[in-house]
Chains A and B, each alone.
Chain A
């Protein structure tokens, strides 16, 4: 076989090398507006700045111009941008509204005027479950602490050890970790354990999700 024939064969074989293309993930979610400051009681004759969070149709936080209102301005008055003032004892429903031109979104909490300002430390419980063929199960508690948020799994937690690179995230989109908070690689695959996550607020994320990071395979999730 002559050299040019061999070269032709090799070049022909290289033609089979394929190019990088695109895979798509269905990551559409319902946009969501929520009050991120869980105020229970506001001290009489003091101010409190409320904050909101708006998550768009892929669960990303975006800045908006929301409108705040109070159902009982005599007790708690509030400016359009969320600065509340406790004027007299009583109770008011504090609402935040945003209209994107197509849809209107709203959230509300009930706030009482009292002797001192109380912001609730929030706690929720839930369970993770597999969304794949890999094992993932367990109950958890998600709570706000002074150090940050704490995600505590119970004894019934179990995760597959077969996957390369199983990672756990906090996300606002159960199908994507595009803008998720990466807690880290899973190191405990059975039994109780906990993650303490500083610099994250309780209301920042809606889901705990498990992904095989190297292959972008979703393994499971749980609602926070």
Chain B
């Protein structure tokens, strides 16, 4: 099943690496690496009308590796790999008899992988602008479980072309801050609608930059040019045209010069055919650029 609810959640994860990313490529030979757990459990979702309806409780857990590495001062390679993805649904039981109506199931597999490159278009001292090409490799499982309703990947090949810009500044004399934004086009295969994605991010460094608090607004708008359940030819179970606007918050705390922990949460403020519940993440990161 092309489970857009899961697809979007998987897709969001790469953009939730708010602390890395932005328009700034990694310096040559430096990198940022993060191992994290990201999860959401939801029993309601946004419908195609943008309203909230219930669904059987569904959980998605991703153990992910995210890495950026500077090949040159302008060219950075990006990897976001869901090393272990788990998707489950609860048992549906009769309140009257306590008997199981539909048995819950779970799958655990390797998830989707995003590979990308980021290239800095501007020289140091200028307003940083970078372009990125991110390829979403459908290495996760689709059509999992007895009903084919579990997935750890979207089963389609994303091609995301993204432009980032932003700038850093000081608040007062000692507090470092930055603001960045991005816009992206996601070209998709397998009759999925293309997407326009954009967002803004802001971060502030506290305690001599040992603690960074970031927030990010992500928006996905569907071109609604793909197939729907009415005209899809590839499968009988199909959802498309998912949209959302989400806000994410993340705290990155350096416990040594290079190593830190991150805590984050994100949730959709509006959406169509997407989970209506917050997601959470915890992780450890290694920042070579410090």
Contacts and interface: CB of A to CB of B under 8 A. Distances in A.
A57 B95 CA distance: 11
Given A10-B35, A162-B228, A176-B94, A214 B49 contact: no
B229 interface: yes
B63 A23 contact: no
B43 interface: yes
B57 A162 contact: no
Contacts of B41: 18
B89 to A, nearest CB: 7
Contacts of A16: 37, 39, 61, 282
B229 A17 contact: no
Interface in B208-266: 228-230, 236-241, 259
Contact of B89 (A9, A20, A24, A58): A20
Given A18-B88, A165-B1, A23 B43 contact: yes
B3 A214 contact: yes
Given A23-B43, A23-B56, A215-B55, A13 B63 contact: yes
Interface residues of B, number: 62
B105 interface: yes
A130 B38 CA distance: 35
B149 interface: yes
A99 B102 CA distance: 31
B286 interface: yes
A17 B107 CA distance: 12
Contacts of B147: 213-214
Contact of B54 (A58, A164, A217): A217
B17 to A, nearest CB: 16
B interface majority secondary structure: strand
A133 interface: yes
A interface majority secondary structure: loop
A1 B237 contact: no
A148 interface: no
Contacts of B284: 9
Contacts of A10: 35, 63
B94 A27 contact: yes
Nearest to A132: B53
Contacts of B1: 164-165, 214
Interface in A33-61: 57-58
Nearest to A166: B229
A119 interface: no
Interface string A129-149: 000111000000000000000
Contacts of A189: 229-230
B207 interface: no
B118 interface: no
B105 A20 contact: yes
Which of B2, B35, B105 has its CB near the most chain A CB atoms (within 10 A)? B35
A134 B228 CA distance: 14
B201 interface: no
Nearest to B36: A13
B66 to A, nearest CB: 13
Interface string A11-33: 00110111111111111100000
A132 B148 CA distance: 23
Given A132-B47, A166-B229, A21 B96 contact: no
A164 to B, nearest CB: 4
Given A20-B88, A23-B92, A162 B104 contact: no
A57 B2 CA distance: 36
B58 A215 contact: yes
19 contacts: A14-B63, A16-B282, A18-B61, A20-B90, A21-B104, A24-B94, A28-B96, A132-B53, A133-B47, A133-B53, A134-B53, A160-B48, A162-B240, A164-B4, A176-B101, A177-B101, A178-B99, A185-B236, A215-B89
Interface of B: 1-4, 35-37, 39, 41, 43, 45, 47-49, 51-59, 61, 63, 84, 86, 88-97, 99, 101-102, 104-106, 147-149, 228-230, 236-241, 259, 272-273, 282-284, 286
Given A176-B94, A217-B55, 16 more contacts: A13-B37, A16-B37, A19-B88, A23-B56, A23-B90, A24-B92, A24-B95, A28-B95, A57-B96, A162-B272, A164-B4, A166-B229, A189-B229, A189-B230, A213-B147, A215-B55
Interface of A: 1, 6, 9-10, 13-14, 16-28, 57-58, 132-134, 160-166, 176-178, 185-186, 189-190, 212-217
The 8 closest A-B pairs by CB, nearest first: A162-B48, A214-B149, A164-B239, A13-B37, A133-B51, A161-B228, A133-B47, A178-B101
